[in-house]
Structure 1
């Protein structure tokens, strides 16, 4: 009974203390609790605070985030790392997210907890926490819904939750700063670990996710803070014969390491890691005014690499700086352009999707940059939207948006905020568009609406019953025995936001009131 009461209490907390969808209007998404978030072309869908996501150990804060889409049913889940645990949230109905539970840290709290996904498993590491190891979590557990005590435990799922600390090869997995996965090759790369290799990449075969094996490591380029690994399909088909004997880089595993140092020797290092026992250093490049080389991401054509330095704003008083490297020749990368943002907020994690770069900009929140002109040396990127999760200011400081995940097919974007937890946002103008899996026998028009909207039935159908629910799940309207082809819903007296319209007790539609 206690576990059931605790679960119900948690659901109530999620509803009471999070805030639901609000469109971006006149530069702000204003919610009923009084918070007002600066924005441009991105709407707030939902939010769950850090006090719900994390447990009470230490001083709970948010860190990394990643996403998982269940291949069985297309449901989308946010995975949010915190200082003391990793939280799992069902956002398949993004207006009403469901906190399912958390996996607690193996040791103590850490400001740096990172997570990535491969083959329906989450792989989690943490830094500066002793013998933490790599936690492995079977994400299909989430299909069962909310955990009875909101804590997923290895003892509860002995064959589906594991910790990997090494396999006797001499390389122990204790604390690591980051994890990167090349999904096409089923290899995880652990970087910034406190092992004897000085923090260089450690290679782990995760083709059998629950039983990984260490298959090598690389030490020659020193400490790696973060990285990306791809199976290369870019323009460089003529490697330098003085560097390697291969005929082309296409099809090779290429690792780009962001090697921060705090010693003015910060650099990007390009490695061919295809042969884990014979890693080949391709090249490296430094850049002006380094603070701390932090993280970067390839464009989808593998022609450019976009990289952020975490402390240059703090060290040199500059606005947010993002560096673009032309890597059409992997043996000779060049700094091709530099983008400066509108504030002095620190850039953190950034990811590319199509011709957009999604940047977690700490106190500047999520910034969305158009990179369709990335070949230009003067205006390679242009800001086209944002959602600021830290409304107090956009100054230089370590608060606000830690990371962002823009890869859900639905178009929903998740932001992990250090102080405020999980945000789900979406490009403006798309909130009223029903997901493709919703029934098309009924139409809401207009949607978005202001004073009223009409439910219209297709030929052979009829509108017999209407129920309307607000974002808290409270029924605000109900009418039965309508028996018409069209029905006008009077919404003039309702507060703006998203409502769920239930038609004939079976069909569900979303309605946005502006």
Structure 2
């Protein structure tokens, strides 16, 4: 905006506008939400032309529209009303049609709040959205609700929670068409979010269910939508994906407690890990949603910004000449252990390697430096039997293995 780069970061208070360009990232403005407080933990944002559109999904949180055209000097509120959007979990703007899609919340219709799975608004006047269509007006609509949506040229890819992926054509709002569905697929769960590759031929999809991996979906034939690749962080059985976006052949992923990840999808059926950063020291847990919440790779400078629920804003630069595509310096000989187990390190000699042991609650209970080659880790009687997480690091990457301490017999 006006030759400068900014980050928009949400909090329980509202939106924070962070200036990024002077080497000292700092908050320029705080835009308080219509409602705020410790219970208001989910907000979503989208920019269109010179405007920022913001929603939240708790309470009567309204749609807020801010004019950013006078940054860095001024931000002007041009719209803040619970009519027609009372609250929403996510929004997406199809810039080709100028339509805003609102997901999973409430609308104000005839003075009453009514539930909303999906609704579409016209932004011909960016400061005054006009309701065009809602799900109750779609004859074939019969889904649990839309958590998120990606739209290109009026074709919408809708994440319908436990009803899977739905693809629809909204080019004629008087006659919207159901194009295809994917309801049965490997590691299905709470169908949460997705992003279409620029080719339009395949789509990355995330189920917000612990232990499920990222899916690459072939969408060339809407009558035969199918998953063609499964991959993920592989750190623990509890890892969980939140959001993911394509930029070119690179897929950028906010991976909750595992951090921020970048994958190379130039071979769509064989994704390769390019880079990752653990934004949060917490170990993935089966009941928690901590860590990296959002990621954004579209800044002109090619910097990547990511938000973490506990640790705030991160700013990254992906090195153009990086040639490390896989990270497999560490291995363990067995994850079933009694008094000891062995970690093998096979990496560059000019790095230092360390070992951290966490119990099932995420508390660190052990630490050791590692040498190149075979390392013996002593888990003597001071450690109770149970599940532990062994984390190894070389200062650039981390790998986590689940190990189980007990009394094991070999026959």
Report what 1:111 is aligned to: 41
Normalized per residue, the structure richer in helix is 1
Q: Distance in 2 between matches of 1:285 and 1:392?
A: 33
Report what 1:205 is aligned to: 122
| Structure with bigger RCO (C-alpha 8 Å, 6+ apart) | 1
Report what 2:158 is aligned to: 257
Distance change (3 Å), C-alpha of 1:221 and 1:83: farther
TM-score (norm 1): 0.57
Report what 2:148 is aligned to: 226
Q: Is it true that 1:268 corresponds to 2:165 in the alignment? A: yes
Contact residue 368 and residue 386 of structure 1 kept, 8 A: yes
Q: Deviations over 1:295-330 (max 9, x none)?
A: 00011101001100011x2xxxx3x50011101112
Distance change (3 Å), C-alpha of 1:430 and 1:101: farther
Q: Distance in 2 between matches of 1:164 and 1:183?
A: 22
Number of equivalences: 306
Q: Distance in 2 between matches of 1:323 and 1:230?
A: 20
Q: Distance in 2 between matches of 1:408 and 1:96?
A: 17
Q: Is it true that 1:309 corresponds to 2:207 in the alignment? A: yes
Q: Distance in 2 between matches of 1:310 and 1:390?
A: 18
Superposition RMSD on alpha carbons, in Å? 2.0
Report what 1:284 is aligned to: 181
Distance change (3 Å), C-alpha of 1:133 and 1:102: same
Q: Distance in 1 between matches of 2:309 and 2:244?
A: 16
Match of 2:198 among 280, 300, 310: 300
Report what 1:88 is aligned to: 17
Q: CA deviation at 1:428?
A: 3.3
Normalized per residue, the structure richer in strand is 2
Q: Deviations over 1:22-41 (max 9, x none)?
A: xxxxxxxxxxxxxxxxxxxx
Distance change (3 Å), C-alpha of 1:85 and 1:381: same
Contact residue 123 and residue 129 of structure 2 kept, 8 A: yes
Contact residue 233 and residue 258 of structure 2 kept, 8 A: no
Q: Deviations over 1:306-364 (max 9, x none)?
A: 100011x2xxxx3x500111011123211222113221321000000011000000011
Match of 1:325 among 213, 217, 220: 217
Q: Is it true that 1:128 corresponds to 2:128 in the alignment? A: no
Q: CA deviation at 1:107?
A: 2.0
Structure-to-structure mapping, 1:445-456, within 5 angstroms: none
Report what 1:492 is aligned to: none
Q: Distance in 1 between matches of 2:208 and 2:279?
A: 18
TM-score (norm 2): 0.71
Contact residue 217 and residue 276 of structure 1 kept, 8 A: no
Q: Is it true that 1:362 corresponds to 2:264 in the alignment? A: no
Report what 2:99 is aligned to: 187
Distance change (3 Å), C-alpha of 1:417 and 1:177: same
Consecutive unaligned residues in structure 2, runs of 5 or more: 108-112, 323-411
Contact residue 14 and residue 36 of structure 2 kept, 8 A: no
Match of 2:272 among 368, 375, 382: 382
Q: CA deviation at 1:90?
A: 1.2
* Displaced runs of 4 or more, over 4 A: none
Q: CA deviation at 1:198?
A: 4.5
Report what 1:507 is aligned to: none
Q: Distance in 1 between matches of 2:320 and 2:224?
A: 43
Report what 1:442 is aligned to: none
Q: CA deviation at 1:256?
A: 0.5
Contact residue 187 and residue 213 of structure 2 kept, 8 A: no
